[in-house]
Homo-oligomer: A and B are copies of this chain.
Amino acid sequence: MIKITFPDNTIREYEQGVSALNIAKSLSNSLAKQIIAATVNDISVDANMPINQDATIKLHKWSDKEGKHAFWHTSAHVMAEALETLYPKVKLGIGPAIDNGFYYDIDLPEGKTISEKDFPKIEKKFLEIARGKHVLEKKEMSKNEALNYFSEKGDIYKEELISELEDGTITFYTQNNFTDLCRGPHLPNTGHIKAIKLLNIAGAFWRGDEKRKQLTRVYGISFPKQKLLTEYLVMIEEAKKRDHRKIGKELELFTFSKNVGQGLPLWLPKGAMLRERLENFLKKLQKEHGYEPVMSPHIGQKELYVTSGHYAKYGADSFQPIKTPAQDEEFLLKPMNCPHHCEIYKFKPRSYKDLPIRYAEFGTVYRYEQSGELHGLTRVRGFTQDDAHIFCTPDQLKDEFKKVIDIVLYIFKTLKFENFTTQISLRDVENKEKYIGSDQNWEKAENAILEAVKEKGIKTIIEEGEAAFYGPKLDFMVKDALGRSWQLGTIQVDYNLPERFDLEYIGSDNKKHRPVMIHRAPFGSMERFVAVLIEHTAGKFPLWLTPEQVVVLTISEKYNEYAKKVAYQLNISDIRTLIDDRNEKIGKKIRDSELKRIPFMLIVGENEANTNTISVRKQGKGDLGKMNIDEFAKFINNEVNKELIK
């Protein structure tokens, strides 16, 4: 008998050679049906792999990351088989699982091509194979055997891959009539896959090398239920509609110019004003929480980043140093604000009475990304962090942490990110040598975070070994309206920079001590946050934030003067108001305002002008009836206050 330890630390005994699937069956049949892979002793394995000695186990379902990975990996194999059946002599490259689905790189026989028109045929063949419930059989092979197999088949890409592997480490998986070089893990059988959708075709150089042949990359996604595929396709459609690049253009929030450079956003007036409102909102909040603003330049001497350690770690992959004409100097675009803030901390001696010091800066940083990696506002080369660094004593850590959590939670609430989770990343106590900082400080910091999160009553997962080498951290993950997860907001403890910058304060004992640093950015970056907010709200921002709150629509040009009076009165009440006095039908004006996502439409015609009123329509809700202008102004300001209430 062997001992199997479960994630909750319960231990059960099984016979030697038992598989994860057997273990799942021993717990319940319905569970076993859902198990598609496992992690045994921290290694991902097939659910049917025999276990021969004492082990820890995690069982994976479709709902887990690991489960999806095996599911999509098997799907790639099944797609390859379908392609081989439909396109004999096709040569196969690699076919991994990715974040959302899988792909396979293929080299089609001379004269053959694949287009989206062929997708239904391939999907049909795919499902035919899947429904065969073919078991995925794993076997080891010698290097020679493996080379022979693919050489006979004419799969030159596989041959190349195998030639670089070490003998004795090569495994193959076979299902039905198809065998592939693979490490696994895979589904127990293909029958788990009930739905498939091919998504896209792209060119991809073999091994990412533009000097080698361009293969055809076929992307797909598969699901254990047809319903999940349907939902996914609806979500994809909705996501396309909400794409922040599309909405950003429609609402004229930002643009890019190839002359200024890729990944360098230009904020248009409405976007710049929206960003300013977000920044002012956080500035006010931070002022109430005792933060002080600072401002630092966008460059720093190379030596500054040598001191901080950034240069050694990222220098080669960054924007390269800036030289000066006459002098022997080198500067770097700042990738982070922390080194500058450390220098500000050092501008005079500090006492324990001065702490905590909280320096906040909307600091624009520059990080090089390859052009292929750039994406709208979410992957850019220059972005503004809502950055702050808290310098405190170890004893103040917990309180400071709680205050930062308050800020993050208030932001989530105000911006309607109701669905979020957190993760606490702690150090690996088995490998303490990997971390900087004393045992005592680590314990203090980790306990501070654990207690702070507990006292705030927040759901959290605790991940041991996931801390940075310089300190534990707390991450916030929000789900947007489409159920997609975004990491927004990190609170990171840091023992490293205070050490590297030799930061000090004089304690009440009159001796020198090192402060602890907290890095935090509740929005993360203004660019990424605005992108997420656009996709979350589909551009229908909260009233306090939205570029235009109200539009006055005239029934005919006779009421243009009255419309101006209405708009003037609202604008001086700090309500952002436009006029649409175009010579268009009122129906068209309403539709256009809906497209512009303006929350309130005020219709003015004869009746309204005579009675000094307005007819109010709410975006997506319809008619709210007549109001007078003052009433409406109060109503709007009240709605805004409700949104911002703590």
**A297 in complex: contacting residue of B296, B303, B364, CB < 8 Å:** B364
Is A53 close to B, CB under 8 A?
A: no
Is A269 close to B, CB under 8 A?
A: yes
Is A645 close to B, CB under 8 A?
A: no
| Chain B neighbourhood of A340, CB < 8 A | 260, 266
Contacts of A12-34 to chain B: CB distance below 8 A: none
| Chain B neighbourhood of A261, CB < 8 A | 297, 299-301, 304, 329, 331
Q: B322 and A294: CB pair below 8 A?
A: no
Query: In whole Å, how far is A341's beta carbon from the nearest beta carbon of chain B?
Result: 9
Q: B333 and A297: CB pair below 8 A?
A: no
| Chain B neighbourhood of A293, CB < 8 A | 269, 272-273, 276
Q: B294 and A260: CB pair below 8 A?
A: no
Contacts of A603-645 to chain B: CB distance below 8 A: none
Is A318 close to B, CB under 8 A?
A: yes
A contact residues, total (Cβ < 8 Å): 59
Q: A327 and B297: CB pair below 8 A?
A: no
Stretch at the interface among A98-106, A343-351, A462-470: A343-351
| Chain B neighbourhood of A344, CB < 8 A | 255, 257, 266, 268
Query: In whole Å, how far is A42's beta carbon from the nearest beta carbon of chain B?
Result: 34
- Contact of A267 with B296 at beta-carbon distance under 8 Å, contacts A255-B344, A320-B322 already known: yes
Q: B331 and A325: CB pair below 8 A?
A: no
Q: B266 and A296: CB pair below 8 A?
A: yes
Contacts of A313-367 to chain B: CB distance below 8 A: 316-327, 329, 331, 333, 339-340, 343-344, 346-348, 359, 364, 366
- Contact of A267 with B295 at beta-carbon distance under 8 Å, contacts A320-B322, A326-B370, A371-B327 already known: yes
Q: A294 and B320: CB pair below 8 A?
A: no
Is A265 close to B, CB under 8 A?
A: yes
Is A368 close to B, CB under 8 A?
A: yes
Q: Per-residue CB proximity of A279-303 to B under 8 Å, as 1/0? A: 0000000000000111111111101
Total copies of this chain within the assembly: 2
Q: B264 and A299: CB pair below 8 A?
A: yes
Q: A272 and B259: CB pair below 8 A?
A: no
Is A95 close to B, CB under 8 A?
A: no
| Chain B neighbourhood of A307, CB < 8 A | 259
Q: B292 and A259: CB pair below 8 A?
A: no
Beta-carbon nearest neighbor of A334 in chain B: B260
Beta-carbon nearest neighbor of A347 in chain B: B255
| Chain B neighbourhood of A322, CB < 8 A | 319-322, 333
Is A275 close to B, CB under 8 A?
A: yes
Q: A276, A319, A348, A364 — which one has the most chain B CB atoms within 10 A of its CB?
A: A319
Complex Cα–Cα for A275 and B259 (A) = 32
Complex Cα–Cα for A435 and B325 (A) = 30
- Contact of A265 with B370 at beta-carbon distance under 8 Å, contacts A257-B346, A319-B331, A322-B320 already known: no
Contacts of A220-272 to chain B: CB distance below 8 A: 252, 255, 257, 259-261, 264-269, 271-272
Q: B296 and A298: CB pair below 8 A?
A: no
**A366 in complex: contacting residue of B264, B299, B317, B318, CB < 8 Å:** B299
A–B pairs, 22, beta carbons within 8 Å: A257-B347, A259-B300, A260-B301, A261-B329, A261-B331, A266-B294, A266-B297, A266-B343, A266-B347, A267-B296, A269-B292, A269-B293, A271-B295, A272-B292, A298-B298, A299-B333, A316-B325, A319-B323, A319-B331, A320-B325, A325-B368, A327-B370
